[in-house]
Amino acid sequence: LFIRSEKWIRPDRTVVTICPYCGVGCSLDLKISEDRILSVTPSRDGAVNRGQACVKGHFGLEEIIHHPDRFTTPLIKRNGQFEPASWDEALDLVARRFTEIQDRYGPDSLGAFSSSRCTNEENYLVQKLARAVFKTNNVDNCARVCHAPSVTGLAACFGSGAATNSFDQIEDADVLFIIGSNTTEAHPVVSLKIIKAARNGAKIIVADPRKIELVDRASVWLNQKPGTSIALINAMMNVILKEGLEDRDFIDRRTMGFENLQKTVEEYPPERASQITGVAAEDIIEAARLYASADKAMIIYGLGITEHTTGTSNVMSLGNLAMLTGNVGRRSTGIMPLRGQNNVQGACDMGALPNVHVGYQPVTDAGIRSKFEEAWKVALPSVPGQTSTQMIERNPGKEIRGLYILGEDPAHTEPDTNRVRSTLESLDFLVVQEIFPTETTRYADVILPAASFAECDGTFTNGERRIQRVRKAIPALCGQENWLTICQIAQRMGYPMSYGHPSEIMDEIASLAPMFAGVKFDRLDDGGLQWPIPSLDHPGTETLHAESFSCGLGRFNAVQHKYPAEQTDTEYPLILTTGRRREHYNCGSMTRRSKGIMWVWPEEAIEISPADARELEIEDGETVVVSSRRGSVKTKARVTDKSSRGMAFMSFHYQDVLTNLLTNAALDPQAKTPEYKACAVKIEKL
């Protein structure tokens, strides 16, 4: 029984679905009465969480679903003001304007940002809309600004760009090497598995520029400077080779390119790496010995690895370390990239990327293309499209003029947001589909309301490749589910896209992508399945690369240290690194609307070390101005020993403190992911 408006209410049903926040993929029970969510609690038999959830899953959802700020009707901008419109009127306008732009400037003047917050089925339809209807490969998702280097880097090592193992296996590892991941804040339920592993006797190595909570559990803390992971890992491999701790049998049987790697890591004795990273040479040696001596050593990493101009090389460096010691292809070993948004894995799997169809099948492969052309009954573009980070630049001769953005907020989350705002302003036509007003919806010509996770049927794929069922708990507050809206845009643009239910979309996905051939909605009811699932009787794959790598032999990729693109100087003397707080999520458009969460963490603050605070004569709690070469924000200062001297930290959850006005848009050359984790700033008293 629940008390609401002084009345006792008994739920009339419980619907089990998946948390819409991070990539852990916790199962949640939604208790409902008369189409209102009464409570959200973690499911006891959730495949990943088993009755656990973090503060966001517990308290950050119930009031958000029915929040009065929700968009419930389409809005069309007229004379600078948004006015309500019918679905027919809004969709007719969207289709007409996109068709006009396509006719006048060509298909590549259109683009689509799909959403790592939306279901697999919605992502599949957005990329199909881009390819089959817009006739362009200009489609991408927010993995571009977080884990695209994981896809390119892990694929370069192993042939598959995904987590190699399962979250449960963390608990049985002997050593966990956690690098660039503040797991307790960003992926709290995974951090509980790390803590359980530590209680079981596992040794923890933490590499992080901040004194994060897991440092208290660590045998070694490698307090590295931001952007120095390659030097650190190369030095660990230098020690491993010097002390004969490598797995020769694994190297000989299962890998190629070892000689090149050996030559490169010879250049990184711990003493040299110490100068680059700021980590004591003896700590590097201790970490190397611990990792290499374990029977089962697992690497867990986050955006501290990927959001650098060396993001792909950082990931490849971790692949080198795992292969050098034979720590891949077995239970409780391997590499676990912790995905940020709940379906960032699935958005990539579904082909919401500019270079691949669903199941990572290249758009440039003529055989693959003709398979899709036959299935979709339309000619398809063969040239890879632009990434989201490229679409947001105004590339001369390649300008995007019409853009469809589903469930993303680039005006808040892209780096150097002044640049992004001016691009959005300059578009001929912008359609944004969202559940709440955001920074990006301000620039829209048409806002299409979106259904939330509680109003959709479909699937999400979590960070361990587990495809789980998302179940519709209540009718869509905006009148229709998102997959239907995408179909209606396609139909109005002359393409017959039509399905009766999201399960039919998954059936089409399974028929076109061999790695998903065994997926059917009714097979996912009991905790989901981990891909690859190549046939209907296949049980799914807990551990990748057990017999051989997806590319045959694993490939060592020798990589060299490179400093972050922006360095400090006398004017901008501090390095700013950005990340998340446990209570909030991404641009905060959802969590900032939860009273409970705002009570716990109401505002942004820049974290600085006591030494820097003393030098700048800044008190804890004082309001300061933080400036980079791109912009300024006003925020409070928090003086904490979590920050090392010369380093500051901010999250990016608040609309009144747009941290990304400061961050640097310099890109990783392979994955085109920006360097959010290191830019130069100054802090001034107000």
Tokens linked to 175? 């050593």
**Alpha-carbon span 24 to 192, nearest angstrom:** 12
Question: Does 302 interact with ligand SF4 (rule: CB under 6 A)?
Answer: no
Which of 181, 31, 185 has its CA nearest to residue 600?
185
- Name the minimum Å distance from CB 452 to ligand SF4: 14
Stretch that binds ligand SF4, among 22-30, 82-90, 204-212, 664-672 (CB under 6 A): 22-30
Inter-residue contact 230 to 265 (CB < 8 Å): no
Contact between 681 and ligand SF4 per CB under 6 A: no
Can you tell me the distance from the alpha carbon of 454 to that of 517, in angstroms, rounded to the nearest whole number? 27
Which is nearer to ligand SF4, 25 or 304 (by Cβ)? 25
Pick the binder of ligand SF4 from 26, 231, 474, 665 (CB under 6 A).
Answer: 26
Q: Which is nearer to ligand SF4, 327 or 452 (CB)?
A: 452
Q: Which of 22, 32, 93, 524 binds ligand SF4 (CB under 6 A)?
A: 22
Instruction: Please tell me the distance from the alpha carbon of residue 17 to that of residue 34, in angstroms, as a whole number.
Output: 18
User: Least CB distance from residue 191 to ligand SF4, whole Å?
Assistant: 9
Shortest spacing between CB 51 and ligand SF4, in angstroms: 11
Q: State which residue, 26 or 324, has the beta carbon closest to ligand SF4.
A: 26
Beta carbon nearer to ligand SF4, 19 or 658: 19
Choices 16-24, 121-129, 327-335, 570-578; region in contact with ligand SF4 by CB under 6 A? 16-24
Residue closer to ligand SF4 by CB (options 44, 253) is 44
Q: In 3-state terms, what secondary structure has residue 31?
A: strand
| DSSP states along 420-458 | HHHHHHH-SEEEEEESS--TTGGG-SEEEE---GGG--E
Asked if 300 touches ligand SF4 (CB under 6 A), the answer is: no
Give the interface size with ligand SF4 as a residue count (CB under 6 A): 14
d(CA 500, CA 559): 49
Q: Say if CB 40 and CB 62 are below 8 A apart.
A: yes
- What are the phi and psi torsion angles at 673 (to 5°)? -100, 135
CA distances from 549 to 361, 613, 625 (A): 17, 50, 50
Least distance (Å) between residue 30 CB and ligand SF4: 13
Q: Are 163 and 335 in contact (CB under 8 A)?
A: yes
Q: Between residue 612 and residue 631, which ones bind ligand SF4 under the rule CB under 6 A?
A: none
Q: In angstroms, what is the minimal distance from the CB of 670 to ligand SF4?
A: 28
Q: Which two tokens stand for residue 507?
A: 């059936």
- Is 21 among the residues that bind ligand SF4 (CB under 6 A)? yes
Local structure of residue 681 (DSSP, 8 states): E
Q: How far apart are CA 385 and CA 414, in angstroms?
A: 19
Written as one letter, the residue type at 616 is L
Please state the φ and ψ torsions of residue 428, each to the nearest 5 degrees: -70, -35
In the complex, minimum distance from the CB of residue 338 to ligand SF4, in angstroms, rounded to a whole number = 10
Interface map 43-82 toward ligand SF4 (x if CB under 6 A): ------x---xx-xx-------------------------
What's the CA dihedral at 320, 322, 328, 332 to 10 degrees? Answer: -160
Chain residue whose CB lies nearest ligand SF4: 57
Q: In the bound complex, what is the minimum distance in angstroms from residue 188's beta carbon to ligand SF4? A: 5
| Nearer Cβ to ligand SF4 (63/267) | 63
357 touches 40 (CB < 8 A): no
Pair of tokens at residue 489: 């845009």
- C-alpha–C-alpha distance, residues 32 and 474, integer Å: 8
The contact pattern for ligand SF4, residues 182-221, with x = CB under 6 A and - = no contact, is -----xxx--------------------------------
Nearer to ligand SF4, 42 or 554 (CB): 42
The footprint of ligand SF4 on residues 315-344 (CB under 6 A) is: none
The secondary element (H helix, E strand) that includes residue 297 is strand 297-301
Shortest Cβ 187–ligand SF4 spacing (Å): 6
- Is residue 454 a contact point for ligand SF4 (CB under 6 A)? no
Interacting span for ligand SF4 (CB under 6 A) from 24-32, 246-254, 389-397, 664-672 = 24-32
Q: Which is nearer to ligand SF4, 131 or 187 (CB)?
A: 187
Is the CB of 18 or the CB of 391 nearer to ligand SF4? Answer: 18
Q: How far is the CB of 57 from ligand SF4 (least distance, A)?
A: 2
Burial 432-455 (b: 16+ CB within 10 A, else e): bbbbbbbbbbebbbbbbbbbbbbb
Of 682, 645, 416, 686, nearest to 569 by C-alpha is 682
Q: How far apart are CA 146 and CA 374, in angstroms?
A: 34
In angstroms, what is the minimal distance from the CB of 61 to ligand SF4?
Answer: 9
Which residue lies nearer to ligand SF4 by CB, 339 or 642? 339
Q: Which positions lie near ligand SF4, rule CB under 6 A?
A: 19, 21-22, 24-26, 49, 53-54, 56-57, 187-189
